[in-house]
Chains A and B, each alone.
Chain A
Amino acid sequence: MFLTKERVGGLLLLAFCLFYSWKIYDIRMLPFQANQAFTPRSIPQILAILGVCLSFLIVIFPSNKERLNLSELNWPLGLAFLALMSIYGLSVRPMGFLISTSVFLMAGFAMLGERNILKLVLVAVPLVVAFWALMNYGLSVYVAPLPWFLRG
């Protein structure tokens, strides 16, 4: 019964707080700040102490005994979507908005179970083109529509 939801969360946040505490020493101090009451490190130090204490308290005294049931969740699909978003971020500039976004949406629809290719194309492509036109002509927000090799 050790790994309850709260304890897992507390441990993860404790790790984050410890990492934060460690990184405080990377903040450069200017020579004249040595004896000042308040430096760029002051607030981070207070926060680090608070964060570590609170996460310890959550780990030691969890108010809830509920356990995390990972088997009910579709983790592979969630991770696949995270990868898809990351690839979209990498491709939106070189591949242009129209192609990268259409592919992102079609892949997303397909990953969630849409198997009709015609539907995939008919929902994604007109929507992306309309959105690009609205942003470009309606709100004057320009984003390159075409891939790098087709740009003039």
Chain B
Amino acid sequence: MLDGILIGLATAFTLQNIGFVIMGCLVGTFIGMLPGLGPMSAIALMIPIAASLEPSAGIILMAAVYYGAIFGGSTSSILINAPGVASTVATSFDGYPMAKAGKAGKALAIAAYSSFSGGVIAALLLLVSAPYLASVSLSFHSTDYFALMVLGLSAVAAFAGKGEVLKALLMTVVGLMLSTVGTDQTVGVPRFTLGMIDLVDGISFLLLVMATFALSEALMAIIKRIDESKREEERKAAAELGSMKVSKEEVKEMVPVIGRSSVLGFLIGVLPGAGATIASFLAYGTEQRIAGPEKGKLFGKGSVRGLSAPETANNAAATGSFVPLLTLGIPGSGTTAIMLGALIGYGIQPGPRLYIDQPDVFWAVIVSMWLGNIILLVLNLPLIPYIARVLAIPARFLLPLILFFSLIGVYFVSFNTFDIQLMVLFGLCATVLRLLSFSLAPMILGFILGGMMEENLRRALLINDDSWSFLWERPLTLTILLIAAGCLFVPMLSPLFARMRKKTINAAEAD
């Protein structure tokens, strides 16, 4: 492991890569701060630039953008109560009341220290657990990989919100369907190309991500009518931050919260499909319960614990979500799904072999997480008053610029104008689906895993002489598939069980 850390340090601590971490953190914070744009859009917008770099530099840049965007999202949650992403919603519960009470600077500092601590502790846990998990997963066969991908996709259902299970599953299936467009990898037969030569290579991952996140986000802002009076409030909030000093008592209050929330966030982040949103809400709820009646009453009114817990947990979960990506090649969240797509674009196959075949990429990502967190604290925090001025850019200038960067990002990779037209079509479909409350992250997860899942299934069938018996004959495959079935059916059946239990209780009371 020590050798690995040294490789990581040697790769990440070059002048060029430190520059990319600084740039990534700043750009990520800048984009993440824009209401509506989250880490997924931020990473998607950076892919064209990252594609022109060597793999480790590109991944370091994207990881830095990821952290920066989470940090930026927290800033807009605290200052203007407009969380860019769901994972920073819990931050606004206590961050915004603190800002309204004239302590915006303090709230931002608490959020920054908590994010930093959560990120650093989780990176340490990742450092310890990832190589171990990678060595275990070396014994996995293609049948196990197929089962793992099924688990990854069904976990989407397990962590979808109440009443959202069917929609999340359908969107995953739509993503899988889109992944089948193009030439079949084994036989070379075109599928769903509709006779168009531009679709023979399939749908570009970058195009789909840009259209579904960056483009549709900007279109949503355009059609929802811009409220300029609200923008005036945002400008004022960005201009008056107050002191950024945190007192000794507040630090004492934060330390145990950070310890608990880091471990909780990391563990939740490791679970495929769970991610930073669940981690932040769970950490907030746990701390509220632990705080006792007196301190618990302060939650929602500017509590230090209430701000520190979700901020620590969402950053720790972001780091935790790299565990399945780096060790199994399965994305734990929508954001890591985009990173997986980018890695595949480099010709790198994430998974247990990554640790052996490309240790520079594996360790550089882990080391860059520490570096990114340090830079966020040392550089971004003092720069927040200046970066926050981005909130003052009028929407009438900002939105066409976002559209332009999305379109040109895709065009500069393929130089095919057909891609722009396809992006417009996907942008329209994505906007309509978002208006109809259909989440697009499961679709991206399905799209990324679709090709790999089909390939592994085909290989497994080939090895087993076209027999499907591997599904129940290999214990590991069967166990993973049973867990997947549990993930799929428990959330579907739990409302039914709840109704039955209620009926039983009512009947007992009536007796």
B417 at the interface (CB under 8 A from A): yes
A114 to chain B, nearest CB (A): 5
From A6, A38, A78, B436 is in contact (CB under 8 Å) with A6
State in angstroms the CA–CA spacing of A74 and B186 once bound together: 46
CB under 8 Å from chain A, chain B span 148-171: 162-164, 166-167, 169-170
Residues of B within 8 A of A121 (CB): none
Closest to A14 in B: B170
B1 to chain A, nearest CB (A): 36
**Which of B37-45, B291-299, B344-352, B419-427 sits within the interface?**
B419-427
Contact B438 A23 (CB under 8 A): no
From A29, A57, A63, B164 is in contact (CB under 8 Å) with A63
State in angstroms the CA–CA spacing of A5 and B411 once bound together: 34
Residues of B within 8 A of A93 (CB): 417
Type the 1/0 row for B465-506, where 1 means its CB is closer than 8 Å to any CB of A. Answer: 011100000000000000000000000000000000000000
Residues of B within 8 A of A54 (CB): 166, 169-170, 173
Closest to B186 in A: A40
Can you name 4 extra interface pairs (CB under 8 A) apart from A9-B433, A26-B192?
A: A37-B466, A44-B180, A66-B437, A74-B224
Contact B458 A38 (CB under 8 A): yes
Type the 1/0 row for B123-148, where 1 means its CB is closer than 8 Å to any CB of A. Answer: 00000000000000000000000000
How many interface contacts (CB-CB < 8 Å) are there between A and B?
171
A89 to chain B, nearest CB (A): 3
Residues of A within 8 A of B174 (CB): 13, 16, 51
A141 at the interface (CB under 8 A from B): yes
B289 at the interface (CB under 8 A from A): no
**CB contact under 8 A between A6 and B399, given known A82-B427, A141-B52:** no
B386 at the interface (CB under 8 A from A): no
A-B contacts, 16 of them at CB < 8 A, read A6-B167, A17-B173, A43-B454, A50-B173, A54-B170, A61-B166, A63-B164, A64-B437, A74-B222, A86-B424, A92-B417, A93-B417, A109-B397, A112-B395, A112-B396, A114-B397
Contact B173 A86 (CB under 8 A): no
**CB contact under 8 A between A12 and B432, given known A89-B407, A109-B397:** yes
From A6, A30, A64, A108, B187 is in contact (CB under 8 Å) with A30
Residues of A within 8 A of B411 (CB): 89, 92
Residues of A within 8 A of B2 (CB): none
Type the 1/0 row for B170-199, where 1 means its CB is closer than 8 Å to any CB of A. Answer: 100110110010001011011110100000
State in angstroms the CA–CA spacing of A73 and B174 once bound together: 26
Closest 8 CB pairs between A and B?
A108-B400, A63-B163, A89-B420, A112-B396, A9-B436, A37-B466, A78-B223, A40-B184
Residues of A within 8 A of B420 (CB): 85-86, 88-89, 92
Q: Is the interface of A mostly helix, strand, loop or mixed?
A: helix
From A9, A33, A61, A108, B399 is in contact (CB under 8 Å) with A108
CB under 8 Å from chain B, chain A span 9-24: 9-10, 12-13, 16-17, 20, 23
Contact A77 B222 (CB under 8 A): yes
Contact B223 A77 (CB under 8 A): yes
State in angstroms the CA–CA spacing of A101 and B423 once bound together: 17
B227 to chain A, nearest CB (A): 12
Contact A55 B170 (CB under 8 A): yes
A8 at the interface (CB under 8 A from B): yes
A139 at the interface (CB under 8 A from B): yes
Residues of A within 8 A of B189 (CB): 27-30, 40
Contact B167 A58 (CB under 8 A): yes
State in angstroms the CA–CA spacing of A107 and B366 once bound together: 44
Residues of B within 8 A of A105 (CB): 400-401, 404
State in angstroms the CA–CA spacing of A77 and B163 once bound together: 32
State in angstroms the CA–CA spacing of A75 and B223 once bound together: 6
**CB contact under 8 A between A27 and B191, given known A37-B468, A92-B417:** yes
A106 to chain B, nearest CB (A): 9
B230 at the interface (CB under 8 A from A): no
From B225, B400, B421, B427, A109 is in contact (CB under 8 Å) with B400
